[in-house]
Chain A
Amino acid sequence: MNLLEIKGLTIQYAMRANTIHAVNNVDLTIAPGQTLGLVGETGAGKTTTARGILRLIQTPPGKIVSGEVFFEGRDLLKMSGAEMRAIRGKSISMIFQNPMSALNPILTIGEQIAEVIHLHEKCSKKEAAERSRNMLKMVGIRPERAGEYPHQFSGGMKQRVVIAIALACSPKLLIADEPTTALDVTIQAQVLDMMRALKNKLNTSMLLITHDLGVVAETCDAVAIMYAGEIVEYGSLERVFHNPKHPYTLGLFGSIPSLDKVVERLSPIRGLMPEPSALPKGCKFKERCDYSCDDCEKEEQVLREIELNHTVRCMRAEGGGF
């Protein structure tokens, strides 16, 4: 059975002048122990999707319009507030992008980890403190530092603390929203390395949100490419990286300066992502696509399976493609 199964998730923000279609009919599944990479550019709806899973969308103006989010077979969207709170931080936890603002500056890091444990598991304060020290050791921070305050830690160390908080109750699913974007490359390598190791040790599933295809290549088992609130390509890491089919995915690969090949000139995607308040009819990528034809506009594009474990939202990708 899948750990997480999202079906037709649609999230909109009703603004004064218009409606922002942030997430449109998203389907995703994560198996136990699997890491799914959710890739897309700013404004693609990645973070909104993640917040939607935990029902952390600010309402109003945001609203989960439709869809189902099955976690261990139960629909999170139908749960009561109390049930949902019991799940957040316990079975599903989330890591936010900016480690600098994710920690409370007036509590020691030990207290902050212990607080989560104490909140979700009936254990004494002493036991919680003991376990928080173990968590610190696990993320590579000396347990003696439990009594220090966030400002005494560097960015990379803070992100380790955030990860320790997220993993404190051994969640089944970890949602990590750009966990290493704010970090330097060598620190990023350390943190990713650690996350990989912990994930394998604890058998946690992970939804990793990132804009960096390199990070996906190194950490994920499956990947979903998101564009204008839709999943445009979805499949196992191997299928998508070996055989990218959606013109947008191809464009993303062409935009990245390569380390392993010599490329004289990059081939960027022209134009911009459409405003999520005024999405075009038919294919959302048509305006920027080199392969678009008249039919692309007429038809609402659906995800088509082009090979096993690989679906693409493009009518021209099927059967050989371009």
Chain B
Amino acid sequence: MDELLRVEHLKKYFNNPGGMLHAVDDISFTIKKGDVLGVVGESGCGKTTLGRVVIKLLEPTGGKIFYEGKDITDIGKKANIELRKEMQIIFQDPYSSLNPRLHVFDLIADPLKSFRLMGRSARKDKVFELMDMVGLSRRFAYSYPHELDGGRRQRIGVARALALSPKFIVCDEPVSSLDVSIQAQILNLLQDLQKQHQLTYIFVTHDLSVVKHISTDILVMYVGAMVEKCGAKELFEKPLHPYTKGLLAAIPVPNIDYVREKIVLQGELSSPINPKSECRFANRCSYASDICRREIPVYEEVLPKHFVTCHRVREINNL
């Protein structure tokens, strides 16, 4: 069995003035070693929270997480810290995720220091090795983050995540604050590192073209719930859920000859606070019928390895 991570009925709720905010609601999936699971969705869909809960940066409200077959849901604080050597995270914002008072060397050395892993000189070699690995010239070792551009800062974040040689990394929108040409550099770097070190990623993003490029499988989320999950190629060739279809149609494609079905989803995301017991997409869905407003649809395997949460998926797609 080459499964690295399995998540079952994962839930994360937050106490909000208006009620319970269902940030992550009943999510299940499995990631195989060396795969990349892309998680896409619009802002507020819970994808960032999912990434945090999976690596235990936030404690889940319910459900189970298995890492290499072991249940890591309720391990203690100490074991949680030990887990950091296995699971890491790369953050979205290369500005606020770096302490402005530390220079590059200390930023990358920080995880090594907090685990007291090696002596001074070994640590230094390791930091420089990491800088080489992420393509950050050694001459920046004593620069402060504010002196570097977004791409270089994001490379620091990548190096820091790699410092403890983890097997599993959550990439939380690592390129969405970068310009396209820099974005491509970082995407290539992440891909190269993944191949060289047999890493497994969860790649969280709102950018569908990025997720298509980097993922093996894609999970689409909508207001805390999972909507559709299948192989990356299949999702783009054969989206089954009405939301996925609308989402794909909404991406502006830089190709004036690319013709496709035009669907503009009307309305806005429903609130994740105390969601009603109905399909969360029902208020924007053009196929919504009575049952959609009455019952929460189940997540089921509609086609081989293609999971969809929709009451009417078979009707809509003539399956």
Direct contact of A and B (CB under 8 A): yes
Residue in contact with B253 in the complex, picked from A217, A252, A269, CB distance below 8 Å: A217
By secondary structure, the A interface counts as helix
The reply to whether A238 and B180 contact each other, CB–CB distance below 8 Å, is no
Q: Which of A56-64, A143-151, A258-266 contacts B (4 or more CB under 8 A)?
A: A258-266
The distance in angstroms between the C-alpha atoms of A256 and B210, with both chains bound, is: 8
| Neighbouring A residues of B184 by C-beta, 8 Å | 254-257, 266-269
The reply to whether B181 and A252 contact each other, CB–CB distance below 8 Å, is yes
| Neighbouring A residues of B252 by C-beta, 8 Å | 188-189, 192, 212, 214-215, 217-218
B15 CB-CB contact with A under 8 Å? no
Q: Which of A67-75, A94-102, A105-113, A179-187 contacts B (4 or more CB under 8 A)?
A: A179-187
By secondary structure, the B interface counts as helix
Residue in contact with B181 in the complex, picked from A41, A217, A242, CB distance below 8 Å: A41
Closest to A218 in B: B252
Interface size counted on chain B using CB atoms at 8 A? 42
The reply to whether A257 and B250 contact each other, CB–CB distance below 8 Å, is no
| Neighbouring A residues of B43 by C-beta, 8 Å | 184
The distance in angstroms between the C-alpha atoms of A183 and B140, with both chains bound, is: 35
| Neighbouring A residues of B206 by C-beta, 8 Å | 184-185
Q: How far is the CB of B165 from chain A (nearest CB, A)?
A: 24
Closest to A44 in B: B179
| Neighbouring B residues of A265 by C-beta, 8 Å | 188, 191
The distance in angstroms between the C-alpha atoms of A266 and B213, with both chains bound, is: 9
The reply to whether A266 and B188 contact each other, CB–CB distance below 8 Å, is yes
The reply to whether A187 and B254 contact each other, CB–CB distance below 8 Å, is no
The distance in angstroms between the C-alpha atoms of A272 and B184, with both chains bound, is: 12
| Neighbouring A residues of B72 by C-beta, 8 Å | none
The reply to whether B179 and A41 contact each other, CB–CB distance below 8 Å, is yes
The reply to whether A189 and B258 contact each other, CB–CB distance below 8 Å, is no
Q: Mark A262-305, 1 if CB is under 8 A from B, else 0.
A: 11011111101000000000000000000000000000000000
The distance in angstroms between the C-alpha atoms of A186 and B247, with both chains bound, is: 6
Q: How far is the CB of B205 from chain A (nearest CB, A)?
A: 10
B151 CB-CB contact with A under 8 Å? yes
Closest to A185 in B: B250
B187 CB-CB contact with A under 8 Å? yes
| Neighbouring B residues of A266 by C-beta, 8 Å | 184, 187-188, 213
The reply to whether A42 and B179 contact each other, CB–CB distance below 8 Å, is yes
| Number of residue pairs A-B, CB distance < 8 angstroms | 119
| Neighbouring B residues of A156 by C-beta, 8 Å | 268
B71 CB-CB contact with A under 8 Å? no
Q: How far is the CB of A107 from chain B (nearest CB, A)?
A: 23
| Neighbouring B residues of A186 by C-beta, 8 Å | 42, 246-247, 250, 264-265
A90 CB-CB contact with B under 8 Å? no
The reply to whether B250 and A188 contact each other, CB–CB distance below 8 Å, is yes
Q: How far is the CB of A102 from chain B (nearest CB, A)?
A: 18
| Neighbouring B residues of A216 by C-beta, 8 Å | 254
The reply to whether B253 and A260 contact each other, CB–CB distance below 8 Å, is yes
The reply to whether A241 and B191 contact each other, CB–CB distance below 8 Å, is no
A127 CB-CB contact with B under 8 Å? no
| Neighbouring B residues of A254 by C-beta, 8 Å | 184
The reply to whether B42 and A255 contact each other, CB–CB distance below 8 Å, is no
B114 CB-CB contact with A under 8 Å? no
B144 CB-CB contact with A under 8 Å? no
B266 CB-CB contact with A under 8 Å? yes
Near A by CB (< 8 A), chain B positions 220-258 give 233, 236, 246-256, 258
A25 CB-CB contact with B under 8 Å? no
Centre residue among B179, B182, B206, B209 by max chain A CB count within 10 A: B179
Closest to A257 in B: B213
Near B by CB (< 8 A), chain A positions 167-198 give 184-190, 192-193
Centre residue among A42, A156, A257 by max chain B CB count within 10 A: A257
- Can you spell out 9 A-B residue pairs with CB atoms less than 8 angstroms apart? A212-B252, A214-B254, A217-B254, A241-B254, A256-B254, A259-B212, A260-B253, A268-B183, A268-B188
Q: With A217-B252, A259-B251 given, can you name 4 additional A-B contacts, CB distance below 8 Å? A: A190-B266, A237-B256, A255-B180, A268-B185
Give B contacts to A, CB under 8 Å: 42-43, 149-151, 179-185, 187-188, 191, 206-210, 212-214, 233, 236, 246-256, 258, 264-266, 268-269
